[in-house]
Chains A and B, each alone.
Chain A
């Protein structure tokens, strides 16, 4: 919450205590004044406040600001390839962007890495980050990105691919991203996606309506300027907050047993294709030259099956499967929970990811 918002709130609180009713008005007059004012006020608010003002939550905006800082540093190094890492918590906590750059450098690949992923993000908030990032680009930055080989590296995650607005629809635990992050125009697309997935889900519908309200009536527009968000201690990496879970030991055991079994078949939802197009062509304005996928390692066997389906479906074999490094990661200190790597786990996965990316990029960087 910004300082201006705090001061406004305090002033309002003070005024409400300070001003008392004096000579009473007639009830009908009071009712009329209130009714008319509420109508005029809601209309005026929509006219006076521009849509962009209330569009992304500040976490998105702040992330885009930090991205621009990172972009400036990358531009100074003049790499020929830029990797855009997009995803949710699995990528944010599992991949260290700076380490990835250094590892690629060691392998003779000159590449800059921009971490667009963040914890708790659903598909729509991920798109909002891209849009916010793009909207803030200067001409020089845009020209630089257009000159570079821009690779959009999507996160592969069954839950988010299978269910748009996953957290709302499946777990009922909505977060601020579900209500406030994605832009007004995306509400319609979110609804389309939900319908395509046959999610006749009341909670998701209510969340969408809440979102629509939040934007149409500018709810929380000033309060969204939050003061706190996950701090990136290291540029390009967000350590997962909290302590590792105790149940993880059991998950490690299950994963060790299941690792040698053949994967079951899980179809890749049709909407994932148009969602990716939407990210690449609309949100990034067609700037991305290539589209790759990476599936961060998890201890959940159904995720491995999905990775494998993704890899089969992609003819150019551009799916980097974290499953392949899993046998090296079956140690409790490398995990925060069954889906998220710890800081040390993230380092190991990042090094391995660098080797995979450099192998794919090598032909262009002899």
Chain B
């Protein structure tokens, strides 16, 4: 069930109505938990607008059990970690924490990376001329496993670090891990942000509703109007990149640069909006990343919930900024490589992570060198403009391996763009206005906080009018075909 489907609209309305009709928070939690399981099962039960049949039922059962497994691990290991902490038994707490994290990662690895590891191993054995045939086993990837695995890890580690003061009951932990707005594609909400909200009594508030609807509609526009129309163009060129000329390839890469942002930003906005209408707050997941003038800045704005997670639970765990520069660079590189691999079991994602990791390392070395040379020097507007252009060109090029289905296709696109190989001759009309205008408005108008805050109007009646007219306008502008959310596959 996707946020932009009629089915979800009905589901959301029913859950919302029932949620606010129930008198106690406890009952509301059980309702939300049941709704979250139903929401998750629907991704297997519904296929192409119809019932997926017994095979779908079987898949749904397996995947719901897996989700339940993560909830049990998160709750159980979290509870034991917290008890050991209370008893001031640090080694025991560490063992429970490590055990919980390992169990989560093991489950994630089994479902996500087994096939990839076996294929890689087989390729290595073949290259070494060893006559061993490994089985080509790859279980079907459950939707959203990367997200709920990270939520479970986050809960256990936060208890171990005592940033979350006490363990919660099974209902609360399960709702934290499986709350449907963030279940299948994030954002990765921190336990310290979400769990305390479960204890606060909530009341239905007209302004919260309006704000929630505002973000849902903004997300719908980003996804169904911008991203899906961009995908219509980009998908065709990326299907056979060798056939297209340089301008068409550049257009397709630029279209994907916009598509992936509006697709995921749109989903995040919708998740934030849906949660808001149910009385929950999620932190923003995108802070206008295409306005970033350095790779580090880009990662502080892009998929913020993931980059913060990687920073706090992986990078800092590896040693972070402590130690000599070589260690810092190693930590950066490892965090980005694993971040790339988190997106999918493919060498293309590893390459994408490696490129960003290298970019961050070079940037770190450059900063160190320039600080030594001219300490405290501020960059001028021209330098900032150049840095922005350089950063965004780098980010744009890095999306090529992310989008291509194989390393061979990646090479074809890069060669075609740089004019190294024989580019194809097919030329397509590039929708430059659709690629550029939404990005420019998002980055240079909405993204300029100080300027934009002066323009902001607090007018309830006007917001009503915009929401109502916007609802119809968005329906008229939407793309009619089916384009799944990109981050569902991760």
Is there an interface contact between B476 and A13, defined as CB atoms closer than 8 Å? no
Binary A-proximity of B433-448 (CB < 8 A = 1, otherwise 0) = 1100110011001100
Is there an interface contact between A220 and B480, defined as CB atoms closer than 8 Å? yes
| Chain B CB within 8 A of A179 CB | yes
Is there an interface contact between A30 and B206, defined as CB atoms closer than 8 Å? yes
Residues of A within 8 A of B50 (CB): 202-203, 206
Is there an interface contact between A20 and B236, defined as CB atoms closer than 8 Å? no
| Chain B CB within 8 A of A25 CB | yes
In the bound complex, CA of A199 to CA of B243 (Å): 39
Binary B-proximity of A36-62 (CB < 8 A = 1, otherwise 0) = 011001100100000000000100000
Smallest Cβ distance from A223 to chain B, in angstroms? 5
Is there an interface contact between B482 and A9, defined as CB atoms closer than 8 Å? no
Residues of A within 8 A of B441 (CB): 10, 13-14
Is there an interface contact between B480 and A224, defined as CB atoms closer than 8 Å? yes
In the bound complex, CA of A57 to CA of B479 (Å): 11
Smallest Cβ distance from B293 to chain A, in angstroms? 22
Is there an interface contact between A210 and B49, defined as CB atoms closer than 8 Å? yes
- Report A1-17 residues with CB < 8 Å from chain B CB: 1, 3, 5-10, 12-17
Is there an interface contact between A228 and B233, defined as CB atoms closer than 8 Å? yes
Smallest Cβ distance from A230 to chain B, in angstroms? 9
- Report A159-174 residues with CB < 8 Å from chain B CB: 172-174
Smallest Cβ distance from B468 to chain A, in angstroms? 4
In the bound complex, CA of A254 to CA of B457 (Å): 69
| Chain B CB within 8 A of A231 CB | yes
Is there an interface contact between A223 and B456, defined as CB atoms closer than 8 Å? no
Is there an interface contact between A203 and B429, defined as CB atoms closer than 8 Å? no
In the bound complex, CA of A18 to CA of B453 (Å): 8
Is there an interface contact between A21 and B210, defined as CB atoms closer than 8 Å? yes
Partner of B211, one of A21, A41, A213: A21
Binary A-proximity of B236-247 (CB < 8 A = 1, otherwise 0) = 100110110000
Residues of A within 8 A of B471 (CB): 38, 41
A23 nearest in chain B by CB position: B460
Q: Which A residues lie at the B interface, using CB under 8 A?
A: 1, 3, 5-10, 12-27, 30, 33-34, 37-38, 41-42, 45, 57, 172-176, 179-180, 202-203, 206-207, 210, 213-214, 217-224, 226-228, 231, 233, 241-243
In the bound complex, CA of A5 to CA of B474 (Å): 10
| Chain A CB within 8 A of B458 CB | yes
Is there an interface contact between B468 and A176, defined as CB atoms closer than 8 Å? no
In the bound complex, CA of A23 to CA of B437 (Å): 33
Is there an interface contact between A14 and B426, defined as CB atoms closer than 8 Å? no
In the bound complex, CA of A219 to CA of B479 (Å): 9
Partner of A227, one of B429, B467, B477: B429
In the bound complex, CA of A214 to CA of B479 (Å): 11
| 8 CB < 8 A contacts A-B | A5-B477, A9-B474, A13-B438, A19-B214, A19-B456, A19-B466, A22-B460, A228-B236
Segment at the A interface, from B131-139, B164-172, B221-229, B364-372:
B221-229
Is there an interface contact between A45 and B479, defined as CB atoms closer than 8 Å? no
| Chain A CB within 8 A of B472 CB | yes
Q: Would A220 and B475 be within 8 Å (CB), given that A17-B452, A22-B459 are in contact?
A: yes
Residues of B within 8 A of A242 (CB): 239-240, 243
| Chain A CB within 8 A of B428 CB | yes
A1 nearest in chain B by CB position: B229
| Chain A CB within 8 A of B486 CB | no
Is there an interface contact between B466 and A13, defined as CB atoms closer than 8 Å? no
Q: Would A21 and B207 be within 8 Å (CB), given that A9-B438, A13-B438 are in contact?
A: yes
Central interface residue in A14, A206, A217, by most chain B CB within 10 Å: A14
In the bound complex, CA of A24 to CA of B47 (Å): 41
Nearest first, the 10 A-B pairs at minimum CB distance are A22-B458, A220-B480, A206-B49, A227-B431, A16-B218, A202-B50, A9-B225, A37-B468, A21-B207, A172-B48
| Chain A CB within 8 A of B141 CB | no
Residues of A within 8 A of B210 (CB): 21, 30
Residues of B within 8 A of A221 (CB): 476
Partner of A19, one of B6, B207, B459, B480: B459
Partner of B206, one of A6, A7, A24, A218: A24
Central interface residue in B51, B242, B470, B478, by most chain A CB within 10 Å: B478
Q: Would A9 and B477 be within 8 Å (CB), given that A223-B229, A226-B232, A228-B428 are in contact?
A: yes
| Chain A CB within 8 A of B162 CB | no
A172 nearest in chain B by CB position: B48
Smallest Cβ distance from B267 to chain A, in angstroms? 15
Partner of B240, one of A223, A224, A231, A243: A243
Residues of B within 8 A of A217 (CB): 475
Is there an interface contact between A21 and B468, defined as CB atoms closer than 8 Å? no
Is there an interface contact between A12 and B221, defined as CB atoms closer than 8 Å? yes
Partner of A3, one of B209, B428, B433: B433
Residues of B within 8 A of A9 (CB): 221, 225-226, 438, 474, 477
Is there an interface contact between A223 and B480, defined as CB atoms closer than 8 Å? yes
Residues of B within 8 A of A1 (CB): 225, 229, 431, 434, 477, 479
In the bound complex, CA of A272 to CA of B190 (Å): 60
B225 nearest in chain A by CB position: A9
In the bound complex, CA of A226 to CA of B456 (Å): 33
Smallest Cβ distance from A93 to chain B, in angstroms? 14
Known: A19-B458, A202-B49, A219-B478. 4 other contacts (CB 8 A): A12-B470, A20-B458, A173-B48, A210-B49
| Chain A CB within 8 A of B462 CB | yes
Smallest Cβ distance from A124 to chain B, in angstroms? 15
Residues of B within 8 A of A45 (CB): 472, 476
Central interface residue in B206, B222, B242, B482, by most chain A CB within 10 Å: B206
Is there an interface contact between B470 and A15, defined as CB atoms closer than 8 Å? yes
Binary A-proximity of B19-48 (CB < 8 A = 1, otherwise 0) = 000000000000000000000000000011
| Chain A CB within 8 A of B385 CB | no
Residues of B within 8 A of A175 (CB): 481
A233 nearest in chain B by CB position: B426
Smallest Cβ distance from B252 to chain A, in angstroms? 10
| Chain A CB within 8 A of B473 CB | yes
Partner of A231, one of B232, B426, B442, B463: B426
Smallest Cβ distance from B413 to chain A, in angstroms? 15
Is there an interface contact between A231 and B428, defined as CB atoms closer than 8 Å? yes
In the bound complex, CA of A208 to CA of B431 (Å): 30
Q: Would A223 and B473 be within 8 Å (CB), given that A41-B468, A243-B240 are in contact?
A: no
In the bound complex, CA of A20 to CA of B211 (Å): 7
Residues of B within 8 A of A3 (CB): 433
| Chain A CB within 8 A of B10 CB | no
In the bound complex, CA of A319 to CA of B446 (Å): 62
Is there an interface contact between A13 and B457, defined as CB atoms closer than 8 Å? no
Central interface residue in A7, A13, A206, A224, by most chain B CB within 10 Å: A13
In the bound complex, CA of A24 to CA of B203 (Å): 14
In the bound complex, CA of A345 to CA of B446 (Å): 53
Is there an interface contact between B462 and A12, defined as CB atoms closer than 8 Å? no
In the bound complex, CA of A364 to CA of B54 (Å): 61
| Chain A CB within 8 A of B464 CB | yes
